[in-house]
Amino acid sequence: MKTMAFLQREVALLIGLRRPRQPRWEAEDSLDELVQLAVSAGAEPAFRVFQERALLNPRMLIGPGKAQEVRGICEEGVDLVIFDDDLTGSQQRNLESTLGRRVIDRTGLILDIFAQRARSKEGKLQVELAQLKYLLPRLTGHGAELSRLGGGIGTRGPGETQLEVDRRRIRRRIVKIEGELEKVQRHRALLRRRRHKQGLPTAALVGYTNAGKSSLLNALTHAELPVADKFFATLDPTLRKVILPDGRAVLLSDTVGFIRKLPHQLVASFKATLEEVRTADLLLHVIDISHHHWQRQEQGVIAVLEELGVAAKPLINVYNKVDKLPHPEAVTFLTRRPRSVVTSAKTGAGLAEIKTAIGETLNGLDEARARSEARGRG
């Protein structure tokens, strides 16, 4: 039986910073998103602090006066302080010492959410790899028991420090996980070659986290994948077959959702998963049209696609959740954009148009490929 202490949510204080020349809305919007991330991780974001600084404090990121203000707020029952910006290991330690509370940054929070969501062996390995790469530069000894090697009499001695042992173990574990994930990549590559021989094109669903990709995959393929109204509900790639109006079969893949400030550890660790995006014939960019900042989320996904080197792939914009709008007809102008569809995975509106757009895009790719081969023969 679970105790009440286990069920109790940690009370969190969230801190955001605005850089010089950074639009205020951008910094505030990022802090709003941090609130949603904290909730997804199981915290209760009870307090928010926002500071504008011309120069970031190298010791604690925030200034000493603001740190004392935050310390006072922490006395009101705060368990955890979450920064919207990445912290160095020394900044994190200095903050914890000053505030008297546990301190994590945005990357640490996202990694915690991923650790909660991982279900498959591959997903767990990818999350562990990201966590270890995040931890390694932050690992440091506390106290003489972790280090006997110094620079004076009585401090020198044989053997390794405990800190060095820990680092070596982490590096060994990283190498082992990377080796296991390379096997996963090779297996996925083999499956993709088999699909290619069968003439099965693939379309990858990409988009901001919680945009409705899994719901859309269920609606298009009649699958019954679990869906949830929370960030990063899907970590492992899923492939399902969909039949187009002309009878052609296409494989749809659902992948991990994107987010602004996506930790680079995750991009590196989820290489095997994101390979489905890199090798897809086309992309379906699912956009939550009901979100009040959907245009910013759209740009955030495009930025991640550019980072992955796939922004030039054929892309269909799928404006989802139109059923949540008070006046759905107000967004019909979006259908006039090239390769764009307005839809609702919940009601089924626009699903036929998505299949038609996929078919037209694939036909265009086939024609372009045929012309290229003809020029090569000529």
Which of the pair, 66 or 337, is modelled with greater confidence?
A: 66
pLDDT at 357 over 90: yes
Q: What percent of the chain has pLDDT over 70?
A: 88
**In order of start, what are the domains of the chain with their CATH numbers?**
8-112 (3.40.50.11060), 199-377 (3.40.50.300)
Q: What is the pLDDT of residues 288-305, one digit of tens each?
A: 999 988 998 999 899 889
pLDDT of residue 2: 38
Determine the pLDDT at residue 166. Answer: 85
Report the 3 state secondary structure along the chain: CCCHHHHCCEEEEEEEEECCCCCHHHHHHHHHHHHHHHHHHCEEEEEEEEEECCCCECCCECCHHHHHHHHHHHCCCCCEEEECCCCCHHHHHHHHHHHCCEEEEHHHHHHHHHHHHCCCHHHHHHHHHHHHHHHHHHCCCCCHHHCCCCCCCCCCCCCCCHHHHHHHHHHHHHHHHHHHHHHHHHHHHHHHHHHHHCCCCEEEEEEECCCCHHHHHHHHHCCCCCCCCCCCCCCCCEEEEEECCCCCEEEEEECCCECCCCCHHHHHHCHHHHHHHHHCCEEEEEEECCCCCHHHHHHHHHHHHHHHCCCCCCEEEEEECHHHCCCHHHHHHHHHCCCEEECCCCCCCCHHHHHHHHHHHHHHHHHHHHHHHHHHHC
Q: What is the mean pLDDT of residues 247-264?
A: 84
Global confidence as pTM:
0.81
Out of 107-121, 184-198, 259-273, 315-329, pick the least confident.
Answer: 259-273
Q: How confident is the model at residue 232 (pLDDT cuts 50, 70, 90)?
A: confident
Q: What is the pLDDT of residue 155?
A: 41
Percent of the chain clearing pLDDT 90 (strictly above): 46
Statement: residue 159 has pLDDT above 60:
no
Over residues 7-28, mean pLDDT: 88
pLDDT in tens, 119-142: 778 888 888 998 999 888 887 654
At 106-115, the pLDDT tens digits run 999 998 988 8
pLDDT of residue 142: 44
